[in-house]
Structure 1
């Protein structure tokens, strides 16, 4: 295994682990913790996801660049590009709607839950599948 391949594999699986830990473990558990109100949970969640998304951007760049440098990994590159596209869709199209809704809730507004949250989770699921696929392809 050369250095670029190792970096690609590491970046891919660290990215996958972060998404699984934050999106599918920390986020749902936070709202069930004693004393955590919706406003507190949203405030924490906004900071955590802002940090997660920044780390994801760095890991996506590292994984893509290392896969390109390694060469001979077209299928893995396509999977990593798909994961990166899901991240971009979340940041550009879904996150603004979630931010608008959380701003309103933090200001005291009530109303129906945002459907954008379900879109975000759907994109997370696709991203997880793409990262698993890309990581496994890099290992083979």
Structure 2
């Protein structure tokens, strides 16, 4: 059971790294991608990513409850708590800001953006711990 949890965890980790640390910053460097277009794409991509993360997180948590170690259960819970904080606490602020930008306001980068990136960094570390503990 732990091997399945490990495999799902590393899938989850790969998705976070690919989207949050590659796709998100690079899309704004692509030719002809304006801030409004990038924000619109980002909202769709992160909504889909967060849904996939929730599904993977619940699956890993179920596997951990069904026979994983205490470390696996703890890391899985931690990763889901970080995800919940991102979705419930940080993303609404970012969505309100992006609504204003899409309406034509010129705004500086939001501190909530840095909070989200910081939470992604924490989640990456927790997922690494989860994946390693599931496979050891």
Tell me: higher relative CO, structure 1 or 2? Use CA pairs within 8 A at least 6 residues apart: 2
* CA RMSD between the two structures: 0.8
Instruction: Quote the Cα distance in structure 2 between the aligned partners of 1:57 and 1:34.
Output: 33
TM-score (norm: length of structure 1) = 0.94
Question: Contact 1:94 / 1:120 at 8 angstroms: preserved in 2?
Answer: yes
Q: Which runs of 5+ in 2 are unaligned?
A: none
TM-score (norm: length of structure 2) = 0.97
The CA deviation string for residues 65-115 of structure 1, in whole angstroms up to 9 with x for no partner, is: 0111123x1012111111111000001100000000000000101122211
Work out whether 1:104 is the aligned partner of 2:90: no
Work out whether 1:75 is the aligned partner of 2:71: yes
Work out whether 1:10 is the aligned partner of 2:7: yes
Spell out the pairing of 1:1-140 with structure 2 (5 A cutoff).
4-71=1-68, 73-140=69-136
Q: Structure 1 residue runs of 4+, over 3 Å off?
A: none
Question: Contact 2:3 / 2:135 at 8 angstroms: preserved in 1?
Answer: no
Number of residue equivalences: 136
Q: Which runs of 5+ in 1 are unaligned?
A: none
